Amino acid sequence: MTTTLYYFTGTGNSLKMAKDISQNLGNSECVSIPKALEQDQKIEAPEVMGIVFPVYYYGVPQIVRKFIETVNLDKTKYIFVVVTFAKGLPGGAISQIKKVLHLKGKELSSGFYVRMVDNFILWTWDVTSEKKHNSLHQNAERKAEEIAQIVAERGSKVEQGLMEHIGPFILNYQGFLNKVNTGDKDFYSTEECNSCGLCAKVCSVKNIKMVDGKPLWLSLTCQRCLACLHLCPKKCIQFGEKTKKRKRYVNPFIKINELINED
């Protein structure tokens, strides 16, 4: 039976997890959530489906919520989620997913948190130190094997984040959601921009348009995934002031082509 893994990713961690689980499972496919939502026809999920995405402000990215609200789950019997995160306390994404599914009369079969490299450089810390990357990648690969095994057996393991219920309040997840689309006003490109346009191509939600050779953030669909900022070859995309001093990160096992959303 085919399994579909729907994924949302900014810098490739969640795509790498989706691909690894898919490879371990066999007979499965990975489908980009933004691309699926662009289709005219209704998205019909198969009997077994997975959803893989990064935690944002201890919660679920806006587009992932929208996807679950939109997708037709009539045929779906087994639903699992895999949430990639960076800090020790992954927060409440799995509980939120359970609630959204519940509203559709569905139950979450399994849910997993996977710690990966931190790409969130908008506050007081930088990308996870490079010396920790290898062990994080290796642990994530092992976890993908474990998850695939549980999914293959249709197991029912639902992991708990340490701050499952209060985490999203502490990080003001709702405040983030309220302004995520228009919050892109803080992005800008500096004069080192060579007009390559990669930022617009890797914006999976098509929120960047090149105007006179420079990126323009459209304040329509931004999810704050930071793909534009981390993937810029000239490192000349910033968000406010703090990112000027910070490193950049893309999952090394993912090719840039795999992050491009073109028609």
Ligand X SMILES: Cc1cc2nc3c(=O)[nH]c(=O)nc-3n(C[C@H](O)[C@H](O)[C@H](O)COP(=O)(O)O)c2cc1C
Site for ligand X in 142-171 (CB under 6 A): 171
Q: Please pick, from the candidates 12, 50, 111, 215, the single residue that binds ligand X as defined by CB under 6 A.
A: 12
Q: Please pick, from the candidates 19, 201, 224, 246, the single residue that binds ligand X as defined by CB under 6 A.
A: 224
What string of H, E and C letters represents the secondary structure of the chain? Answer: CCEEEEECCCCCHHHHHHHHHHHHHCCEEEEEHHHHHHCCCCCECCCEEEEEEECECCECCHHHHHHHHHCECCCCCEEEEEEEECCCCCCCHHHHHHHHHHHCCCCCCEEEEEECCCCCCCCCCCCCCHHHHHHHHHHHHHHHHHHHHHHHCCCCCECCCCCCCCHHHHCCHHHHHHHCCCHHHHEEECCCCCCCCHHHHHCCCCCEEEECCEEEECCCCCCCCCHHHHHCCCCCEEECCHHHHCCCCCCCCCCHHHHCCCC
Residue 89 vs 152, nearer CB to ligand X: 89
Interface with ligand X by CB under 6 A: which range of 48-56, 201-209, 234-242, 255-263?
48-56
Q: Is 217 in the site for ligand X (CB under 6 A)?
A: no
CB atoms within 10 A of CB 193: 17
Q: Please pick, from the candidates 21, 48, 49, 55, the single residue that binds ligand X as defined by CB under 6 A.
A: 55
Residue 49 vs 60, nearer CB to ligand X: 60
Give the number of residues in contact with ligand X, rule: CB under 6 A.
26
- On whether the CB atoms of residues 114 and 83 are closer than 8 A, the answer is yes
Residue 152 vs 256, nearer CB to ligand X: 256
Site for ligand X in 82-141 (CB under 6 A): 84-87, 90-91, 116, 118-120
Residue 79 vs 114, nearer CB to ligand X: 114
Interface with ligand X by CB under 6 A: which range of 10-18, 41-49, 146-154, 232-240?
10-18
Residue 62 vs 76, nearer CB to ligand X: 62
| CA atoms of 119 and 125, how far apart (whole Å) | 10
Smallest separation (angstroms) from ligand X to the CB of 69? 20
Smallest separation (angstroms) from ligand X to the CB of 188? 17
Q: Which positions lie near ligand X, rule CB under 6 A?
A: 9-14, 54-58, 84-87, 90-91, 116, 118-120, 171, 224-226, 251
